[in-house]
């Protein structure tokens, strides 16, 4: 296969992260192939947006399921790198249908790995795992103030790193955690150049979130359209937020340093400086929007982490990557993107995207 025919493959590439990654790569002149089964709300709009750009001649779209080996083989055979984003992404959905969750997240990943293993020179592979592989972190003692939980042990202020023990909770945590471990084992056993990102909360344009996944965008849509907001628990749970542009930078840093990153898992997120609680996020949205809709507090969700912040020291030291977008700037960018998106009538109601 000649060099000019090589391309970057993004599984689940019509989703929020995949769309932003494809956009970045296409702008730099790469040829990109998206594999997606178009099962999520908003993905067709994302593809339409990509196809409207001037670089669309370098964009290929394969409508297929990650579990379909026959569909994967011809696409992966000429891939120079693979970003594996395709997944069932919601804890609640995994509780409702654990077999489907297993089939997509674990069996789909294993199908992909087997195709790559059969290749003479397999491409670089980056897999997006989750912070849920660390469990609910219930062993971390927390103190509570008016807006957030914080660790009693100040040494945890810097966050959770890769040395933290794995403790899969929920079918989603098990399927993503199992896929995470399969990726690392294939790197060890078969010498696949593969890297795992255990990601915290990612946010940014082209995110059509719901209360189970993509919650920052979900709240912004609700605030702008004055729709009631449901909070599970008391709203003091803390997450570190990473803006999508910073995540794409991390993806490309890993690819550029693939020999150093191969066979390793990294916690990836915004870190302590980008950590917010739900209540703090809503207060900031109130300052931008002028008001927020009524809040409804519901029961805590099973396995929910009260405090999770990523310690990205390992990846930063290895590659030189640093996140650059302050959390308030990133939230403003997403807020105005959502506002413009609604005004453009690309979507008619919030129900169209938060089913």
Q: Which residues pair with 150 in a beta bridge?
A: 143
What are residue 199's DSSP bridge partners?
130, 268
Asked if residue 345 has pLDDT above 60, the reply is no
**Structure confidence at residue 301 (pLDDT):** 86
**Average pLDDT over every residue of 303-320:** 96
Average pLDDT over residues 226-251: 98
Whether the predicted pLDDT of 298 surpasses 90: yes
Reply yes or no on whether the pLDDT at 352 is more than 70.
no
Find where tokens 């957030």 sit: 148
Please determine, for residue 61, whether its predicted confidence score (pLDDT) is greater than 70.
Answer: yes
pLDDT-based confidence at 90, cuts 50/70/90? confident
pLDDT at 225: 95
According to the model, what pLDDT value does residue 210 have? 77
pLDDT tens per residue, range 28-47: 999 999 999 999 888 999 99
Name residues whose C-beta falls within 8 Å of residue 196's C-beta, 6 or more positions apart in sequence: 126, 127, 129, 180, 183, 184, 264, 265, 266
On the question of pLDDT at 243 being above 90, the answer is yes
* Domain range list for the chain: 3-352
Reading phi first (left if > 0) and then psi (alpha if -120 to 50, else beta), residue 53 is in beta
pLDDT, tens only, 117-151: 999 999 999 999 999 999 999 999 999 999 999 99
d(CA 137, CA 338): 33
What does pTM read for this prediction? Answer: 0.94
Quick check: 354 pLDDT over 60? Answer: no
Average per-residue pLDDT for the chain = 93
**pLDDT tens digits, residue range 262-278?**
999 999 999 999 999 99
Asked whether the predicted pLDDT for residue 2 surpasses 50, the reply is no
Highest mean pLDDT, choosing among 79-83, 90-94, 157-161:
79-83
Count of beta carbons in the 10 Å neighbourhood of residue 226: 12
The gap from C-alpha 35 to its chain's centroid, in whole angstroms, comes to: 16
Asked if the model's pLDDT at residue 5 lies above 70, the reply is no
pLDDT at position 330 over 50:
yes
Closest alpha carbon to 63 in 11, 5, 124: 11
Categorize the per-residue pLDDT at 157 as very low, low, confident or very high, splitting at 50, 70 and 90: confident
Residue 227's pLDDT band (cuts 50, 70, 90): very high
Task: Give CATH superfamily name and number for 3-352.
Answer: NAD(P)-binding Rossmann-like Domain (3.40.50.720)
Residues involved in catalysis: 172
Is there a contact between 22 and 10 (Cβ–Cβ < 8 Å)?
Answer: yes
Instruction: Report the percent of the chain where pLDDT is more than 90.
Output: 86
Average pLDDT over residues 155-162: 92
Place of tokens 């202020």: 157
Longest CA pairwise span in the chain (Å): 61
Residue 4 has pLDDT above 80, yes or no: no
**Does position 250 have pLDDT exceeding 90, yes or no?**
yes
């Amino acid at each position: 296969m000649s060099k000019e025919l090589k391309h970057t493959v993004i599984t689940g590439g019509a989703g929020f992260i995949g769309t932003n990654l494809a956009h970045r790569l296409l702008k730099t002149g790469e040829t990109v192939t998206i594999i997606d089964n178009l099962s999520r709300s908003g993905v067709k709009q994302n593809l339409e947006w990509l196809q409207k750009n001037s670089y669309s001649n370098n964009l290929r779209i394969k409508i297929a399921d990650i579990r379909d080996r026959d569909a994967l083989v011809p696409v992966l055979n000429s891939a120079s790198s693979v970003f594996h984003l395709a997944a069932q992404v919601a804890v609640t959905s995994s509780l409702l249908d654990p077999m489907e969750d297993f089939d997509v997240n674990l069996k789909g990943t294993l199908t992909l790995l087997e195709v790559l293993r059969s290749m003479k020179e397999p491409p670089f592979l980056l897999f997006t795992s989750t912070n849920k592989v660390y469990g609910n972190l219930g062993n971390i003692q927390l103190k509570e103030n008016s807006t957030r939980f914080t660790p009693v042990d100040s040494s945890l202020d810097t966050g959770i790193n890769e040395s933290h023990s794995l403790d899969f909770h929920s079918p989603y945590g098990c399927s993503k955690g199992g896929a995470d471990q399969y990726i690392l084992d294939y790197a060890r056993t078969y010498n696949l150049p593969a890297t795992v990102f255990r990601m915290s909360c990612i946010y940014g344009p082209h995110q059509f979130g719901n209360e189970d996944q993509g919650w920052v965008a979900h709240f912004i849509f609700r605030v702008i359209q004055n729709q009631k907001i449901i909070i599970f628990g008391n709203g003091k749970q803390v997450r570190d937020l990473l803006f999508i542009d910073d995540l794409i930078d991390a993806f490309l840093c890993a690819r550029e340093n693939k020999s150093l990153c191969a066979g390793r898992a990294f916690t990836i997120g915004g870190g302590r400086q980008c950590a917010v609680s739900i209540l703090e996020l809503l207060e900031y949205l109130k300052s931008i929007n002028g008001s927020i809709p009524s809040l409804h507090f519901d029961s805590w969700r099973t396995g929910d982490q009260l405090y999770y912040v990523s310690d990205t020291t390992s990846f930063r030291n290895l590659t030189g990557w640093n996140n650059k977008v302050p959390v308030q700037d990133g939230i403003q960018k997403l807020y105005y993107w959502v506002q413009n998106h609604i005004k453009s009538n690309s979507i008619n109601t919030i129900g169209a995207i938060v089913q």
